[in-house]
Each structure stands twice: as structure tokens, then as C-alpha cells.
Amino acid sequence: MNGSNVEIDWEAARRANLQNWDDRVPLHEAAYGLDAFDEPTHMSDVVSDDLPVLSRFVGGGTLAGLDLCHLQCHIGTDTISLARAGATVTGVDFSGPALRAAAALADRAGVSATWVQADVLDARDAVAGDFDVVYTSIGTICWLADLDRWAEQIVALLRPGGTFFIRDGHPALLALDEEAPDLTTRYPYFGDGRAQRWDDESTYAGDGKVAHPRTYEWPHPLSEILGSLMRAGLRLLHFDERRTLPWQFSPRMVEVPRGYAWPETERDLIPCTFTVIARKD
């Protein structure tokens, strides 16, 4: 059953997830509209949405001249967009094929970037230097079992005074039954250490199918997300919740400018994303 809670070793779950994400690379290269990056000013929709919020919390209101580490960067569309906003960027991902695709896109786009293959939970040991900004956005922390370790990597990567940014799917949204005719809770909001097992040949972009459909995810309530960052020593600067999402979580969601939302009669009932900005003092 999809979404069933299972006991599984982290390394076994990671291997399954890596196979799945490796499979996604050619599908996403075809589906992401990479030709748009031939235009020198083009940025991804994700970064175009995130940048006005993030810029309010960095010196001078711009990424220009800042060193930025993008965790779980996948094929680099957002990393390249952040470079086009002026940052010196390092992209980190556990998928070798994804990073090769990212490097090829950066070369094609004429963007300088450093790419590091590593698990995000081991990022500090793998990445050279430290950073003014650590960034991660959309569909990231559900793949991680240990948010305390994740937050420790972020703090270790940041310089004093550095800024951390995350926007991701709201845990209240992720607890909903995506196939129900109304807003019905189906999956746990609070995690108990077990993983949710999924078997899905599709991805969130394009029509292709993956060869390795089984993946494992972990639910994380807002209290755990915020708590892990504060326990690691970060100071919360900004928190918000929004009504739209960059992917179609449910077939009932309707397309809106730059994403998807619930039908208007339900739009104020449930958040779709959250954003957190925090600082290392």
C-alpha cells in the first residue's frame, strides 16, 4: 500500500531513493524546459519566487558577491538561477547523473558553479569552505530521516552571520489524501521514525516512467523542522505559509500563475508551503 509506514534501515532507504532519483534525471532534463536557460536572464520559477523573500534578509538586499551552497540541487536549474542572481554557487546532491546534467546545463548557460556529490547529511565533510547563504527549496526534507543531523550540517556550512533559507511542501498538506474528493487526512502528520513506502513509476514532471519506482520518505511536523534548526543554534528570522505549490500534489488542484492551488472554495483551508529563514549568529 502506498504511503504505508515501514521499518527500514537508512542506508537501504537511501539506496532505493538514489536509484529512483538517478532514473529521474533524463526525464527531468526533457520536462524542465532547459532551453529557456539559453536566455541569459532566465531563472527558474522556484528561484523567482524565493528570491524576493530571501533578498530581504541578506546584506544589501542582493545575493551579488555572496557565497551560496545549494543543498539537494538535483539537475541545477535553481542553482544556476541563484548564480544569475549574483551568488558564487556550490550545488550539492547525492546523484551523480543529476550533477553531470547540472554541470552540462551550467556550461551551456555560461554559468560558473561548483558541484559536489554527497549526501546532504554529510555535506560539511564533503564541501570545501563556508558560506554566506545555505539554500534548499521544494521537495527536500521529506527524503531525510534525521533533521537534527541535517540542521547541524547547515550550521557548520554557514559563516557567522550567514543566512539559511528553506521553502518546502507544508507538512499539513503532505498529511492529506491526494486522491480524496475533499480535504481528508490520510497520512501521519507526526513522524514516529518509520518511513513511508511509495511505489510510483511517475515523477512530478513529465510523462516518463522510472525503472526503480520504490522510494521512502519521512513525515516531519513543523515543530520538528523548526526545533531542529533552533537546537542547532540558528535564530529564526522569518516564517510564512502560502496557498500555492510548484507541483500538482492532487489531481483536484487547479493551475494558477506559477503553480497549482486548491479550488478557490478550499484555498484558505490548508497551507501548501512553508518558508523559514534563519541566521547563524
User: CA–CA distance from 92 to each of 54, 121, 188 (Å)?
Assistant: 19, 11, 29
Dihedral over alpha carbons 229, 232, 237, 241 (to 10 degrees): 0
CA-angle at 81, arms to 76 and 86, nearest 5°: 125
Residue 228's SS3 state is helix
pTM for the whole structure: 0.96
**Structure confidence by residue, pLDDT tens digits, 192-245:** 999 999 999 988 887 889 999 999 999 999 999 999 999 999 999 999 999 999
CA-angle at 280, arms to 274 and 281, nearest 5°: 135
> Residues of the chain with pLDDT > 70: what percent?
100
Domain range for 110: 4-280
**Structure confidence by residue, pLDDT tens digits, 14-50:** 999 999 999 999 999 998 899 999 999 999 999 999 9
Tell me how crowded residue 181 is: count the other CB atoms within 10 A of its CB. 7
Mean pLDDT of 161-174: 98
CA–CA distance, 215 with 189 (Å, rounded to integer): 19
Q: What's the mean per-residue pLDDT of the chain?
A: 96
Find the CATH number of the domain harbouring 136.
3.40.50.150
Please check the confidence at residue 1 and state whether its pLDDT lies above 70: no
**Domain tally for the chain?**
1
